Structure 1
Amino acid sequence: MRTTKKNLTMPVRGAALLAAVVVGAAGCSSQEKFEVTDLCGRKVDSALVAPFLPEGETLKVDDDISAPEQPRCKVSVDDELHLYVRGNIDKPGFDLLKASERSMRRLGNPAPADGIGDGATIADHGAMAVQACTYKGEKSQYILDIDGVDLPKDTAERRGALEELLRAHLPVIMEAEGCRP
């Protein structure tokens, strides 16, 4: 009889242990959806950044890599890069889009995007825009470059999200840097 009782309690104890592990595991997976409202020290609509970020446990927005006239920031979730944004003020008369054609090809299928600055290119994993401006009284151009993008998984959706971010963020970051169109 003692053997029967032991045989009956083992499955019950095992089921209780399994339930505790499942409940505990569900409690440990505190995945969060993150909101980024600041890119490279500039305000940004968090809805424009959200498509590029997965759920995770930790968000890091690193803008310590910025320098005067060169705002830079990396957005990482769980130590994995998901968005790298770079801005530059440069001398005019240099066709940056043509010069960067090779690097844009590495980002996958670059294509022109209409109505963004003086010219823009959207690729599968990044984007770039150029806008003529006046900086400290001199003719200049502003370059906004975004890469490191693998989300959303759907390429057409990702390209659309890149275009929206580029279109909205170019005038904001230019103004903040004092580069007037």
Structure 2
Amino acid sequence: MQSARRSLTTLARGAALLAAVTVGAAGCSSKKSFEVSGLCGRKVDSALVAPFLPKGETLKVDDGISAPEQPRCQVYVDGDLRLYVRGNIDKADFDILKATERSMRRLGNPAPADGIGDGATIADRGAMAVQACTYKGEERQYILEIDSVDHPANTVERREALQKLLRAHLPVIMKAEGCRP
């Protein structure tokens, strides 16, 4: 009788230990949501970046690839590039949207977007906006590009999120770079 009781006790302890390890392992591997409040060294509303970031275990924001007049940053979740933001101050004498039309097609179904800068294009996996500005007393244009976007999975939601981020971030990054509309 005592050996049957001992066996049940041992089984109960084993089951409890297995449950604890399983719960602990699940807690260790649980994925979390991330907040990014800065892109390319500029403040950004984290709610505008959140749609592009799947849940994961690690987040890395690399702002170290920027240069004067060319802010650049990459956002990685679990080592996968999820967002690449590039800004450029360029000469005002050419139509960048027309010049990059072919490269925008690689991002999937580019279409004009109204009300963003002097012109904008939103594609399935990226976006671009252009705004004329004065930089160091010269007529220039500011170009903001966002690509490497594949989250959220729903393309309509992704395009809407790209449009919101582009609309909000263009004036912020232009001002920070000293490019006045």
Alignment of 1:33-72 (within 5 A): 33-72=33-72
Q: Which residue of 2 aligns with 1:109?
A: 109
For structure 1, the 5+ residue unaligned runs are none
Alpha-carbon distance in structure 2 between the residues aligned to 1:113 and 1:55: 29
Query: Which stretch of the first structure deviates more once superposed, 40-49 or 13-22?
Result: 13-22
Q: Percent identity?
A: 78
- Tell me how far apart the structure 2 counterparts of residues 84 and 35 of structure 1 sit (CA, whole Å): 16
Q: Residue in 2 aligned with 1:23?
A: 23
Partner amino acid for 1:105? R
SS of the residue corresponding to residue 179 of structure 1 reads coil
Q: Distance in 2 between matches of 1:111 and 1:139?
A: 27
- Work out the CA distance in 2 between the residues paired with 1:108 and 1:3: 69
Residue 129 (structure 1) aligns with: 129
Partner SS, residue 161 of structure 2: helix
Q: How does 1:68-83 map to 2 (within 5 A)?
A: 68-83=68-83
Alignment length, in residue pairs?
Answer: 181
Could you say what secondary structure the match of 1:75 adopts?
strand
RMSD: 1.8
Q: Distance in 2 between matches of 1:156 and 1:11?
A: 53
Tell me by how many angstroms 1:175 deviates: 0.5
Question: What TM-score does the superposition give when structure 1 sets the normalisation length?
Answer: 0.92
TM-score, normalised relative to structure 2: 0.92
1:121 counterpart SS class: strand
User: Which one-letter code corresponds to 1:122 in the other structure?
Assistant: I
